[in-house]
């Protein structure tokens, strides 16, 4: 079980209260109509599955019902960092964001 | 000013309805635990036990969503209710029979006496400015008060929240898992708690609480 810090409530809670919402920092194409099928399909369906650092979106579903981001190591399950929506992670693999294409 | 900002200024008049039946209409108000006949149980059931339960029924539940960084909105709330929004996360404020629970950084649950709900809601509509939302959810939830020497032991069976006084002092309020359902749990005294629960889960949680408190003895009060 994770023991997750909610940046909005300001305290740690059990994982039971949260839901994982997948990869974070997915940028919606500015003009979807201009996308070809490949670009739109990759935006909708294709996700990273890294071994190591992964930036994820989580929601405090049973608590304040707010989204936030988490950087997690998929090998050790260690939570490296919690940061709010709109902020950039400080813990990143190499130089590039794991979630950005 | 951008189009978006100018649109926000044009706030349509919200439809506000008095949800209470008029006096003499013959319509009977039934709380979510009406069928449990708590009044009968209070008279006929055990009078001593480790956990006391009372339904604080038919209160007005107003969900307010607004911007905590907008001083005009904070002042408006204070004008209407006579007490300030709790900005500090996981806190609640109480004054007389009105209470405000912090639900999230932009959401609060305001509980007022049932018969005042419509007046207070109307007053909000007159005084509040800017972008906000006020929803009367009175019919959708109810409040259960629990107290007694074994109330913490009972709650520990129901939720992963830490109830140690250093972690959960009087005045704190949390939303969490409660017996596989959910509840807004607030501590109003050393051995005194309030649960805000959903109407649709009220019967289930009533059955759960009876079962979980069996070893301590459950006393129903009205």
CATH number at residue B115: 3.30.70.1520
* pLDDT at res. A78: 96
Beta strands B51-56 and B218-220 are parallel
Residues B52 and B144 in one domain: yes
Residue B50 located in a structural domain = yes
- Identify the CATH number of the domain in which residue B161 sits: 3.30.1360.120
Higher pLDDT, B65 or A101: B65
**In whole angstroms, what is the distance from residue B170 CA to residue B151 CA?**
14
Instruction: Count structural domains, chain B.
Output: 2
Residues spanned by the domain of B214: 35-57+140-220
Say yes or no: B117 and B146 in one domain: no
Instruction: For residue A66, list chain B residues with Cβ-Cβ distance below 8 A.
Output: 104-105
pLDDT band, residue B217 (cuts 50/70/90): very high
Least CB-CB distance to A62: which of B90, B105, B176?
Answer: B176
- A3-83 in CATH: which number? 3.30.2270.10
Residue A93: pLDDT band (50, 70, 90) is confident
Q: Is A50 on the interface with B (CB under 8 A)?
A: no
- Beta carbons of B104 and A17 less than 8 Å apart: no
- CB contacts, 8 Å: B169 with chain A: none
Tell me, yes or no, whether B148 and B208 share the same domain.
yes
Residue finishing a domain among B94, B118, B138: B138
H/E segment holding residue B119 = helix B117-127
For residues B45 and B219, the answer to whether their CB atoms sit within 8 Å is yes
Question: Is residue B10 situated within a structural domain?
Answer: no
pLDDT higher than 60, residue B5: no
pLDDT above 70 coverage of chain B, percent = 95
- Does residue B24 fall inside a structural domain? no
For residue B44, how far is the Cα from the chain centroid?
A: 28
For residue range B67-125, what is the model confidence (pLDDT) as tens digits?
Answer: 999 999 999 999 999 999 999 999 999 999 999 999 999 999 999 999 999 999 999 99
B186 touches chain A (CB under 8 A): no
| Least confident piece of the model among A85-94, B7-16, B116-125 | B7-16
Q: B206 and B145, same structural domain?
A: yes
Question: Do B123 and B164 fall within a single domain?
Answer: no
User: Quick check: A10 and B174 CB within 8 A?
Assistant: no
B157 alpha-carbon distance from chain centroid? 22
Give residue limits of the domains in chain A: 3-83
Among B96, B123, B138, give the residue marking a domain's end. B138
CA distances from B85 to B22, B66, B103, B211 (A): 31, 10, 11, 37
> Could you tell me if B99 and B201 lie in one domain?
no
Is residue B146 a contact partner of residue B201, using CB atoms and an 8 Å limit? Answer: no
Give yes or no for residue B2 having a pLDDT over 50.
Answer: no
Which pLDDT score is estimated for A98?
45
**Is B194 among the domain residues?**
yes
| ipTM associated with this complex | 0.87
pLDDT level of residue B4 (50, 70, 90 thresholds): low
Q: Is residue B20 part of a domain?
A: no
């Amino acid at each position: 079980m994770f023991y997750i810090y909610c940046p909005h409530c300001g305290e740690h809670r059990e994982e039971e209260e949260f839901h994982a919402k997948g990869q974070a920092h997915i940028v919606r194409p500015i003009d979807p109509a201009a996308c070809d099928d490949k670009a739109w399909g990759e935006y909708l369906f294709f996700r990273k599955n890294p071994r190591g650092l992964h930036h994820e979106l989580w929601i405090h579903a049973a608590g304040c019902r707010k989204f936030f981001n988490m950087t997690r190591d998929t090998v050790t399950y260690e939570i490296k960092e919690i940061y709010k929506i709109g902020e950039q992670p400080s813990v990143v693999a190499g130089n590039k964001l794991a979630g950005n294409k | 000013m951008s189009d978006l900002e100018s649109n926000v200024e044009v706030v349509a008049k919200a439809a506000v309805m008095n949800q209470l039946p008029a006096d003499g209409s013959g319509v009977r108000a039934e709380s979510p635990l009406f069928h449990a006949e708590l009044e009968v149980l209070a008279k006929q059931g055990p009078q001593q036990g480790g956990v006391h339960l009372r339904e604080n029924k038919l209160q007005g539940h107003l969900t307010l969503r607004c911007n905590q960084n907008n001083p005009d909105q904070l002042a408006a709330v204070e004008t209407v209710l006579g007490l300030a929004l709790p900005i500090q996360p996981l806190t609640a404020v109480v004054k007389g029979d009105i209470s405000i629970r912090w639900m999230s950084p932009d959401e609060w649950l305001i509980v007022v006496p049932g018969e005042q709900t419509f007046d207070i809601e109307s007053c909000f509509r007159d005084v509040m400015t800017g972008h906000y939302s006020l929803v009367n959810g009175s019919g959708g939830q109810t409040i259960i008060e629990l107290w007694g020497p074994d109330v913490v032991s009972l709650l520990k069976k129901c939720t992963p929240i830490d109830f140690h006084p250093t972690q959960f002092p009087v005045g704190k309020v949390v939303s969490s898992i409660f017996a596989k359902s959910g509840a807004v749990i607030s501590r109003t005294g050393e051995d005194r708690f309030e649960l805000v629960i959903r109407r649709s889960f009220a019967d289930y949680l009533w059955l759960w609480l009876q079962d979980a408190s069996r070893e301590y003895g459950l006393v129903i009060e009205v």
